[in-house]
């Protein structure tokens, strides 16, 4: 981001905070990927911060970073103000957040330009990252939060979010001990913490330092989770119609028109060979509902 206050606050120390010695680089084992994109989102209700640090998987050297503050789309301005003051006021960056935050859709467009500029991704349907992968400290960021935010922002989940590396799994299998999070890893590996915990860009730097240490210790870091394209959830009628390429008729949120649209989806699914059956049943003597499909939208 070109905003001066943003650059001064966040971009100047990345290279200094991620040094690599020649002796450590020599210990790195051959990796299956060329680049790692370390990501640590902030925001429980909606994503508030989207920081990524890119390092070379072979030399461990810092390559580049991408950092955006994200403006929620489903929260009132008053709620946003209260939320940001509580979240970022203690770090002294609440004003920078308000001055630079942009909607999630814009963040992704700028991020796609960024990864495209590094030749890590081409905008083709189903295209994954090119010899690169996200590293997250847990599955939550890409398994749960990004898909949730895409639904709120009415964006189809991008193809480059379909696989990732859970550093907790790599840590467990390499060191044979479980780490509950970044702070545990850093404490056990005796890595000093830089910056502020729960400021996304600082947490991303610290996770990157853990990655560098693990590479220097001989870890081979590879994909640990992959989302199957055929299990992506349809968020609603409009998603179904778009994916099935069914033309929309009438007005959305006019009940009779929406009912017609849903009926057209049903007709298409029947024509495609679907067997449509009961999926839920309410017990007469309780308020509970029994769901009959194991694989279902929750």
Task: List the single range of 10-19, 139-148, 158-167, 252-261 with lowest mean pLDDT.
Answer: 10-19
Buried residues in 55-93 as b, exposed as e (16+ CB within 10 A): bbbeebebeebbbbbbbbeeeeeeebeebbeebbeebeb
Rounded percentage of the chain residues whose pLDDT exceeds 70:
89
pLDDT above 80 (res 60): yes
Give the model confidence (pLDDT) of 90-107 as tens digits: 989 999 999 999 999 999
Q: Which two tokens stand for residue 287?
A: 């308020």
Task: List the single range of 24-28, 120-124, 162-166, 281-285 with lowest mean pLDDT.
Answer: 281-285
Distances (CA, A) of 277 to 260, 266, 268, 281: 19, 12, 15, 11
- pTM equals 0.74
- The mean pLDDT value for 226-251 works out to 76
In which residue are the tokens 């999070």 written?
Answer: 181
pLDDT above 60 (res 9): no
Domain with CATH 3.30.420.10 in the chain: 4-229
Q: What is the CA radius of gyration of the chain?
A: 22
pLDDT band at 225 (very low <50, low <70, confident <90, very high): very high
If one looks up domain 4-229 in CATH, what number appears?
3.30.420.10
What is the pLDDT, as a whole number, of residue 235?
65
The SS3 of residue 62 is: strand
Q: Which residues are catalytic?
A: 42, 198
Q: Percentage helix, strand, coil, to 5, in the chain?
A: 45, 15, 45
Task: List the single range of 2-16, 84-98, 148-162, 270-284 with lowest mean pLDDT.
Answer: 2-16
pLDDT band at 122 (very low <50, low <70, confident <90, very high): confident
Residue 123 has a CB neighbour count (10 Å cut-off) of 12
Distances (CA, A) of 48 to 17, 94, 134, 221: 23, 11, 19, 28
Give the model confidence (pLDDT) of 143-202 as tens digits: 999 999 999 999 999 999 999 999 999 999 999 999 999 999 999 999 999 999 989 999
Q: What contacts 2, CB < 8 A, 6 or more positions away?
A: none
Phi, psi of 186 (to 5 degrees): -65, -40
Q: What contacts 219, CB < 8 A, 6 or more positions away?
A: 29, 170, 174
Q: Which two tokens stand for residue 235?
A: 């968020």
What is the pLDDT, as a whole number, of residue 125?
60
pLDDT band at 205 (very low <50, low <70, confident <90, very high): very high
pLDDT above 90 (res 11): no
């Amino acid at each position: 981001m070109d905003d001066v206050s943003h650059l001064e606050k966040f971009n100047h120390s990345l290279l200094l905070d991620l040094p690599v010695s020649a002796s450590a680089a020599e210990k790195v084992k051959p990796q299956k990927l060329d680049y790692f994109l370390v990501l640590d989102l902030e925001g429980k209700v909606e994503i508030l911060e989207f920081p990524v640090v890119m390092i070379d998987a072979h030399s461990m050297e810092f390559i580049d970073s991408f950092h955006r503050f994200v403006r929620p789309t489903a929260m009132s301005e008053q709620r946003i103000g209260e939320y940001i003051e509580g979240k970022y006021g203690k770090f002294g960056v609440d004003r920078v957040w308000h001055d630079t935050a942009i909607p999630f859709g814009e963040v992704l467009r700028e991020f796609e330009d960024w990864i495209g500029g590094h030749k890590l991704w081409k905008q083709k349907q189903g295209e994954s990252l090119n010899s690169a992968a996200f590293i997250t400290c847990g599955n939550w960021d890409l398994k749960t939060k990004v898909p949730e935010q895409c639904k709120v922002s009415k964006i189809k989940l991008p193809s480059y979010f379909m696989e990732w590396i859970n550093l907790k799994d790599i840590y467990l299998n390499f060191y044979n001990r479980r780490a509950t999070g970044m702070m545990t890893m850093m404490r056990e590996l005796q890595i000093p913490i830089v910056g502020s915990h729960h400021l996304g860009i600082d947490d991303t730097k610290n996770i990157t330092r853990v990655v560098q240490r693990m590479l220097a210790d001989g870890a081979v870091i590879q994909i640990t989770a992959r989302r199957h394209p055929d299990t992506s959830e349809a968020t609603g009628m409009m998603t179904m119609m778009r994916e099935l390429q069914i033309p929309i008729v009438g007005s959305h949120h006019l009940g009779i028109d929406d009912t017609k649209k849903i009926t057209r989806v049903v007709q298409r699914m029947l024509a495609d060979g679907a067997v449509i059956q009961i999926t839920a049943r309410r017990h007469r003597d309780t308020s509970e509902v029994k769901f009959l499909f194991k694989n279902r939208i929750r």
